[in-house]
Structure 1
């Protein structure tokens, strides 16, 4: 069965009732082309986190925190990979109930290659690739979701608190949401919610968690009174380029096949990103500012986020509009709203990923093409999914943060923050 999308697969008759015992099939059915493409896409998505997001974030912090910021992305990658293998994959992608998956794949039990019998396990919605490849592709998604959050509280959180929060958030917030939207029998999927590659599951989820963390932890010492200019925007631009390239694996790879849908998602991603980058610097010029490197990078990321939920469902013309609108809204949030409301979203994890995901999810309902998607949704269903994700991520993240604060503590001390997290937390510094 060729996969239209995770959501479309879930609408197939009997999808909700599928058992993992039915996931064995002949090795001969596996497509070498599809498998190769998804393996490459998996590498591209991991490339987005390390080194892409790590460099993107590291260039925007002060020099005394650059190593600590990069460490957050690398440590998150390692931690979530293990959580995904042990529990996350099974709870997100095996049949059970609409709220959470089952325990059939804990520690990847049952995921197998039976060469002598000519059989391999596959995920029902991706029958042309081995289940091992599908599992790893989805792991890369979980990894970057956790890493995105770290940008909101950069330069002030304890490393131990970071690991506890990101680990628990991934298991208790990300995994259930992934099951709701993408998993067999997920209740939002059965309602008709469309999220092609993670606008809701990843970007809204992570952006809201980042906002809550920024508010609970509090502002950086000196925020609003001292200059906190990025120490090296060259790193940020390099990271942006890596994210842009890696995002093709993120969006086009979500076809889970080397097919026409992957090609259309590839086109939509490029168009939306280019439109968004130009929109951001155009707004800067209109407001009598110089077109900035940081603005170009921010606009590009906003466009990538905005097109993510829609990439395989909309036309190239719609992708251009989605990119431009998402960029404009994110510009307002990152440059105006956060100062008006007084929260310190250090690297605009909420302003770009959270807001961009919200805009993209809503616009998916506006621009979805039944000719391209072979499925449909309504604007209200998309709005419903946005509101549910915001509420669940906000409340769940707040509870986790409060528990961690009462136990290991969330924030480094005043003097430690002044000295810099590189030296205080890791005993190293950039000379």
Structure 2
């Protein structure tokens, strides 16, 4: 048998990473091996994961808000954050979602748009994993069209009164604080809302068939009274929450690649060991063609993610670029997961292997932070100058 390389080693793409970036990748991969991989199939079956324990561990290693500067955050590069997301999601999309929502949505919103008092109050504890955050933008009737949100914020003297509900909110059932977006007379505004505030109710969403190792909930705001100090002072208009989504989508570009890579590595090992007709199925031409095609997509996805990361580190990353990355890498990752399932045959649906879990998780990743259709329209609008959904 010829010597072999891993899918990520086919083009020696790790040579494009710095020593620090490779070190971060190795540390996160070892952490996933030690804390997640052997247990995540149980979490998935049970529909529950040890979120707080994971947050504490991730905080100890500086993974929460790792690309932010100051307030106890690591200040790592965008590429370093990306390779961390790749290794997190190679273990499970729900685990990566915990880190993305904490750092790129909740923490980023406070870091980018909050007052100094809000930053000092929340960010150090969130970076350590002591406080869990969530991000309330999506509503039961308003997903891809956040401009039509129904949640309202009105002034009452020096206070704000919030009324409405948010749906499909990652981390909400366990969170200590939420960044809530609401429509006020002067436009969309953001608020830092401790979830023990009177009038706030959180309901866990159960019976999920995807992201079962992630905690998801609905947040109901029944005339919640907040002081003026709860408002994010620098967040004006819908552009503010959308910029947070761009941060989170960037992590998905890398993360989905990790899920696809893990499926491919699993399928290759299985094909090398599975004997049919007297020889390993890896020797069959149809199986080899599948493996080669999937490996190509992993290489291309890595190069795309790396380019976006380098652009981000130069301050040149645009929302349209991130749309290209999420559309391509998530779409290809779910194709890889489905193709790998065929190589594993009936074993592909077993929890003993990660492939079906990744495939189910990627169905959610395909939808959240902008559906594939929305990203297609974002890209086409940039190319044609015509916006199709306004």
If the length of structure 2 is used for normalisation, what is the TM-score?
A: 0.30
- Which structure has greater strand proportion? 2
- Which structure has greater helix proportion? 1
User: Relative CO higher for 1 or 2, CA cutoff 8 Å, sep ≥ 6?
Assistant: 1
